[in-house]
Chains A and B, each alone.
Chain A
C-alpha cells in the first residue's frame, strides 16, 4: 500500500514461493514495517491505531454477544439480562461492548479533532478525509442500531425519534419511515432488521477502513508541521517506531476503557434503558447517547420556520447538514498552510470550535426549554460559522507564522530549543521525548 518501491526480501524458500504467487507478506511488510512515517508525529497521531483495535474489540465482543442475544421483542430484554446474570463472563462482554462504543467515539472525535487541527484533510488527502467521514457516518448508524437492541425504554423511544426524522421529508417521508420500521411503529420487524444491520455494518466499516488506510499509505501521513516529507531524514520506519508508540498509547487508552468497564460501567448509559420497552409510555426526558448530543442540540435549535421549510424539516436538515458539512472541509479551508501550529487565528477558532461542540453536547442533554433554546441556536450558528465562514475567510486573510524548511529542521530546531512550535492543548502536545 505504500505505493513506492518495496524493500521486502523473502528470506526463506516458502517466503519466496508465496511472494511470487500472492505477495501478502510483502504487502504487510511494506504497509506496517518498512512504511516510512514522519519522525515528528505526536501522540495525537496514535488514535488511528487505537480506533483499529477498538473496531476489533467491538466486533469480537459483538459476535460473542450475538451468540446469546435474541432479536425478538419478547425476548431481547430478557436475553440481555441473561447475558448479564447467567452467561459466563457475560456481564464483562456486555459492558465491554456498551462502553466500547463510547470509547470508540471518544477516539474518533479526538482523531477528527487532530485532523482539523493539523489540516490533515488538505490536498492531496481529500479522499482520505472523505473516507473517514464515511466511516464516521457508518459508526453512527451502527451505534444507533446497537442501542436499540437491548430493547429498553431508551432503545425503543430513541428508535422512534430517530426514525421519526424521516417523516420530515416532504411527500415521501411517511413512506420512508414505514419502510425503515417495517410497520407503523417501532416493533418486532424493526428490531430484527436493526439486529441484522448492526451485525453487518461493522464489517462494512472494516472495509472502508481498508480503503482509508490505503489512501493514507498512498499520500503518507501529515505531521504537526504540516510540511510534506522531503528527505529520508524526515521519516522513520513504521516498525518499530510507530508500532511501539501506538502500542503504548493503546495501553493508556485501555486503562481508561477498563476504568469505565470495571468501575462505572453504567456511567455513560441511561437508567431508563434498564426498564423494558413500553410502547405506551414515553420516558419523561429522552436523550440519545452522549456522542449524538451535539447533533441532537442542533436538531432542536431550529424552532422556527425558514420560508417554505417548517421547523421540523429545518431541524432535520440542520442536523444532517452538520455532518454533511464535514465532507466539504477540504475545499472550505482556503489556507495554504496546513497546520494550526503556524496559524494563530485558526488555532484560536479551532479551540473555540471544540469548546462550542462540547457545549452543544451538554445542551443536547438539556430539555428544549428556557434559555437553552437560544443557547442552542447561538451554538449552532457558531458550529456552521466555523466551517462556512471562519475556514474560508481566515485562510485568505490570516498571516501564518514562518514555516520551517523541513521536518528534519523542525525537529532539530526544537531539540536545540531555538524555535518553539508547540501547539497548545493537552491532547495535541507534540512528542518531545523521542
Chain B
C-alpha cells in the first residue's frame, strides 16, 4: 500500500510540472471566476439581470450575432407578460412566405417565431465582417470553455463548477486591452489576452461605458453590461437550468432517504444470514 501511495505522489509531482508546461497555451490569461446567480445547487436566474442582458444583446450584439434558437415565446421566462412578449416580438421583422403569388414577404414577428438572423446566410455574415462570420449566440455560453487543468478539474466535480462558459464570455467581453509593446497587430483584429484561440480576435470591443441605458438604476459600466449579457446568454443556452436544479434537489433528497431505508432493510435481511 505504501508503494501505491508513493506512486500516486510521484504522479502528482509530474502533474505539477505539467501545469507549468501548459502556460504557453491560449488563452494567455485564464478566465477569472465571477459570481453568478445561477451557480451552485440552488442557483436561479435573476430576472432583472436577464431583462437587462436582453437589452444589451439587442443594442450591443444583435447587429452582428444571431440568436436563432431562441423563440420569442420563451422570453416569458424572463418575467415578461404575454402582451409584452407579443409587443417585443412585433419589433422584429421576419421573412415569411411564399404568399398566394409565390412571393416571400416580410411581416412582424409573433411569439412563435425565433430571433431573426442579422445576415441571410453565413457567407453574407463573413463578407460583412472581414471574413470572420460572427457566431450565433444561442449556445455560446455552453460552447466555449477554457481547460481547467489538473487538479482543478477534479475539484470542479465537488464544487459543481459549471460556469466555465459564462466566465469565459465575461472575461472576453471585459478583457480587451492595448497590445504589449512590439506586438504586431494585424489590421482588423483587436488584442485580447482572454481570447481562446490566439491573442487577437476580429470582434471589436462591443461594449463601452454608457452605451446602453438602464432604467432601473443599475450602473451603466462595461463590467455590468458584460455580466448582464452573459447571464442572459447562459439562459439562452440552458433555459431549463432552474427547473433542472430544483428537480435535482428533490431527486437527491429522495435518493438519499431511499438509500438509507434500503441500507436498513439490507442489514435486517442479512442479519438472518449468519
Does A433 make an interface contact (CB < 8 A)? yes
Instruction: Verify A236–B255 contact, CB threshold 8 A.
Output: no
Category for how many chain B residues contact A: 35 or more
A203 interface residue per 8 A CB criterion? no
User: A53 interface residue, CB < 8 Å from B?
Assistant: no
Answer yes or no: B86 CB below 8 A from chain A CBs. no
B240–A84 touching, CB < 8 Å: yes
User: Is B160 in contact with A275, judged by CB distance below 8 angstroms?
Assistant: no
Q: Look across to chain A and name the residue whose beta carbon is closest to the beta carbon of B153.
A: A267
Residues A79-115 near B (CB distance < 8 A): 81, 84-85, 91-92, 95
B179 at the interface (CB under 8 A from A): no
Q: How large is the interface on A (under 10, 10 to 19, 20 to 34, 35 or more residues)?
A: 35 or more
Residue B23 at the chain A interface, CB threshold 8 Å:
no
B262 at the interface (CB under 8 A from A): yes
Contact partner, A236, options B21, B263, B267, B273, Cβ 8 Å = B273
Q: Which residue of B lies closest to A278 (CB)?
A: B122
Interface string of B248-274 (1 = CB under 8 A from A): 110110011011001101110110011
Which residues from 320 to 378 on chain A have a C-beta closer than 8 Å to any C-beta of chain B?
348, 351-352, 355, 359, 362, 366, 370-371, 375
What's the nearest-Cβ distance from chain A to residue B106, in Å?
Answer: 23
Question: How far does the Cβ of B44 sit from chain A's closest Cβ, in whole Å?
Answer: 14
- Knowing A39-B273, A266-B162 are in contact, say whether A244-B265 is a contact too (CB < 8 A): yes
A375, B13: Cα distance in complex, Å = 14
A434 pairs with B142, CB closer than 8 A:
no
Give the chain B neighbours of A275 by CB distance below 8 A.
Answer: 135, 139, 143
A425 to chain B, nearest CB (A): 9
CB-defined contacts of B204 to chain A, threshold 8 Å: none
Say which one of B2-10, B47-55, B57-65, B186-194 lies at the interface with A: B2-10
Asked if A174 is an interface residue, CB under 8 A from chain B, the answer is: no
Query: Which B residue's beta carbon lies closest to that of A247?
Result: B262
Given A244-B266, A248-B263, A252-B259, CB of A263 within 8 Å of CB of B245: yes
Q: A247-B262, A262-B248, A272-B143 are in contact. Are A424 and B1 (CB under 8 A)?
A: yes
User: Which of A133-141, A160-168, A221-229, A253-261 forms contacts with chain B?
Assistant: A253-261
Instruction: Give the residue name and chain of the A residue nearest to B165 (CB).
Output: A271
Looking at the assembled complex, report how far the CB atom of A281 sits from the nearest CB atom of chain B, in whole angstroms. 11
B74 at the interface (CB under 8 A from A): yes
Given A258-B251, A355-B11, A370-B21: A264 and B273 interface contact (C-beta under 8 Å): no
Q: Is A371 a contact of B244 with CB atoms below 8 Å? A: no
B197 within 8 A of A: yes
Tell me whether B244 and A434 are in contact (CB under 8 A). no
- Closest A residue to B240 using CB positions: A91
Q: Which of A91, A241, A252 contacts B273 (CB 8 A)?
A: A241
Who on chain B is nearest to A84 by CB?
B240
**Nearest CB in chain B to that of A365: its residue:** B147
Determine if A230 is an interface residue (Cβ-Cβ < 8 Å).
no
Q: Is A292 an interface residue (CB 8 A)?
A: no
Any B CB within 8 A of the CB of A274: yes
In this assembly, does A204 line the interface, its C-beta being within 8 Å of a C-beta of chain B? no
Q: Is the CB of B165 within 8 A of A359?
A: no
- B160's nearest neighbour on chain A, judged by CB, is A263
Q: How far is the CA of A95 from the CA of B138 in the complex (A)?
A: 18
Q: Are A263 and B274 in contact (CB under 8 A)?
A: no
Between-chain CB contacts (< 8 Å), 8 pairs: A78-B69, A251-B262, A252-B259, A258-B252, A262-B248, A271-B165, A275-B139, A371-B21
* 11 additional A-B residue pairs with CB within 8 Å, beyond A245-B266, A264-B161: A251-B255, A251-B258, A255-B255, A258-B251, A258-B255, A259-B252, A262-B249, A274-B139, A352-B7, A362-B15, A434-B273
